[in-house]
């Protein structure tokens, strides 16, 4: 009986550790540039640090002023993903995104 209880406890502990293990983001396969999937996942209102984590890069500031900032990110197919952020309550939040051709 103790053997069965020990085996069950070990199995539950293993499952618990697996459930708690960090999962690599889906975007980790494209460090330094934005994939089509990553670009599609970015949503209006996201804080800049959330977008940067999704994209695996911080991009390059191309314009900033008056509470607005635009960053360009290298994207799939030689394109550029441009995201415009607005300062809202002390946090840069994404407002617009578009791809250059």
- Tell me the pLDDT tens digit for each residue of 1-53: 556 655 555 554 454 444 444 434 444 567 889 999 999 999 999 999 999 99
pLDDT at 31: 81
pLDDT of 84 over the 80 cut: yes
Which distant-in-sequence residues (6+ apart) come within 8 Å of 52 by Cβ? 58, 59
Distance, CA of 80 to CA of 83 (rounded, Å): 10
pLDDT of 68 over the 50 cut: yes
Cα 54 → chain centroid: 1
pLDDT at 63: 97
DSSP state of 74: E
pLDDT of 70 over the 90 cut: yes
Q: Which two tokens stand for residue 1?
A: 């009986």
The confidence band for 101, taking pLDDT boundaries of 50, 70 and 90, is confident
Section 45-69 average pLDDT: 96
Q: Which residues of 67-93 are buried (b: 16+ CB within 10 A; e: fewer)?
A: eebebebbbeeebbbbbebeeeeeebb
- What is this structure's pTM? 0.69
pLDDT of 88 over the 50 cut: yes
């Amino acid at each position: 009986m103790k053997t069965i209880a020990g085996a069950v406890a070990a199995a539950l502990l293993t499952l618990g550790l697996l459930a708690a293990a960090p999962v690599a983001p889906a975007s980790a396969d494209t460090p330094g540039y934005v994939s089509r999937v990553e670009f599609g996942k970015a949503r209006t209102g996201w804080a800049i640090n959330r977008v940067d984590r999704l994209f695996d890069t911080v991009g390059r500031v191309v314009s900033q002023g008056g509470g607005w900032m635009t960053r360009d990110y290298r994207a799939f197919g030689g394109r550029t993903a441009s995201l415009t952020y607005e300062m809202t309550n002390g946090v840069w939040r994404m407002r617009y995104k578009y791809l250059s051709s």
